[in-house]
Structure 1
Amino acid sequence: MTTVSHQFMVAAGQFGPGHVGELTQVVPFDLVDAVLKETRCVQRRLRDLPTRVGVYFLLAMCLFPEVGYRLVWQKLTAALAGAGVEVASPTAKALRDLRRRVGAAPVRRLFEVLVGPLARPTTPGVRFGPFRTVFFDGCSSITLPESDRNLDYFGPQSRGGYPMLELMTLVETGTRALIGAVFGPTSDGETAYAAACCTTWARTCWYCGTRGSTPTPSSPPWPPPVPSSWAVYALIAAPRPCPAG
């Protein structure tokens, strides 16, 4: 039997739980602190659960969406507990309050800083002539809690189902790097969200989509109204199952 040890660096004191393993190299402490300062969300007094820890807790919630607050916290601090580091043991209510204190602004700003293409000009499979190739696709099966605010904004679904969210992402081909994402009510449709995703990168990209992205009579203009010299749009037909026989 071979024992493999692994060394990792954590912050001191109450900031110890504020890390997400290897992903901390992508989202380092300094970056989170700078984002919190820019969005004016730094805690006014040092608590057992500082705001920086709250940001990493939110990231961990995205990694483990199927479990509750307490289990996410346990996963976030398991390595620390195994190393003998003393960590807080908050209740679910305390973690809920931490999430509310962080709010949406720091997470949105963190996304804006990290999002973007990763390929170099020489990376194979990421360019078509002078254009960077990207792909967009959407998902409309994300269910949300049936709260009054969600019902007011996203609207109730047919047959009394939970409110649902429409997500549209823009991804770099070859590297699968996320370079854009928008979401909102499912009533707006994929075409509207795809146009919003394309706005930032319209000058330099060759866009690929699926048949589901074709416009309807109520959709906004598609492709987005930009000069043809800025971008090229390709529509890729989604595969259809072969008929029996």
Structure 2
Amino acid sequence: MFAPGHFGELAALVPFELVDAVLEETRSMQRRLRALPSRVGVYFLLAMCLFPEVGYLLVWQKLTASLSALPVVTPTTKALRDLRRRVGCAPMRRLFEVLSGPLAQPATPGVRFGTYRIVSFDGCSSLKTPDTVRDRAWLGSPGHGGYPLLELMTLVETGTRALIGAVFGLTSEGESSYARRLLHLLTSDMLVL
């Protein structure tokens, strides 16, 4: 049912072959035939990033909208949650590592200053996480009954906004500490703003 091309633009940007290779490399491929294979789980997680404010079922409907000619059964919220847990974070991390990096070609306008590729660090410390025991144990308990917050630091190619790298963790550690973790991604042809 979930053949190449069935996920529209998402499959065009992240080919099935790449997803399958990442799943094999991270040993996250399902071991038996399933109605919701691991490959579908990766695309579901990517779609969740595109639509962060909606629930599992609405994300699923958006993801499978192009399958209207096929008899697609909508899975339960529990089935989608289990799929998300089964896939885990290792394939998503590896997929990011494969796809991240500068995109601009040497002649792309607006991405260079002389011979230097322009990049910048960008941090954010207001990402809310679910208020769970596990997140509070890792991130600490927020004051005033709020949600635990996550610090995100990215290294970005400024002209294309392509992510070169990203790290995240406790807000108490600070942006400078997280930026240092991305220094290994800088090359001699980059100018940091």
* TM-score normalised by L of structure 1: 0.75
Separation in 1, partners of 2:4, 2:19 = 14
| Structure that is richer in helix per residue | 2
Q: How many residues align?
A: 193
Q: Which residue in 2 is equivalent to 1:235?
A: none
**What pairs with 1:57-72 in structure 2 (closer than 5 Å)?**
57-72=44-59
1:199 alignment partner, SS class: helix
Separation in 1, partners of 2:99, 2:7 = 16
Q: Give the aligned CA root-mean-square deviation in angstroms.
A: 1.6
CA drift of 1:51 comes to 0.3
Q: Which residue in 2 is equivalent to 1:38?
A: 25
- Percent identity over the alignment? 67
Note the residue ranges of structure 2 that are not aligned, 5 or more in a row.
none
CA drift of 1:118 comes to 0.9
CA drift of 1:198 comes to 2.4
CA drift of 1:202 comes to 4.4
1:119 alignment partner, SS class: coil
**Structure with larger Rg:** 1
- The code of the aligned residue for 1:47 comes to R
Q: Which residue in 2 is equivalent to 1:137?
A: 122
Separation in 2, partners of 1:132, 1:64 = 31
Moved more, 143-152 or 120-129: 120-129
CA drift of 1:21 comes to 2.2
Q: Which residue in 1 is equivalent to 2:93?
A: 108
* TM-score normalised by L of structure 2: 0.94
- The code of the aligned residue for 2:48 comes to M
The correspondence for 1:171, drawn from 146, 150, 156, is 156
- The code of the aligned residue for 1:101 comes to R
Query: After superposition, what is the alpha-carbon deviation per residue over 1:101-156, rounded to whole angstroms, capped at 9, x for unaligned?
Result: 00000000000000011111222222233422101111111111111110011111
Higher relative CO (Cα under 8 Å, sequence separation at least 6) belongs to 2
Query: After superposition, what is the alpha-carbon deviation per residue over 1:164-204, rounded to whole angstroms, capped at 9, x for unaligned?
Result: 11111111121111111111111111111112122222433
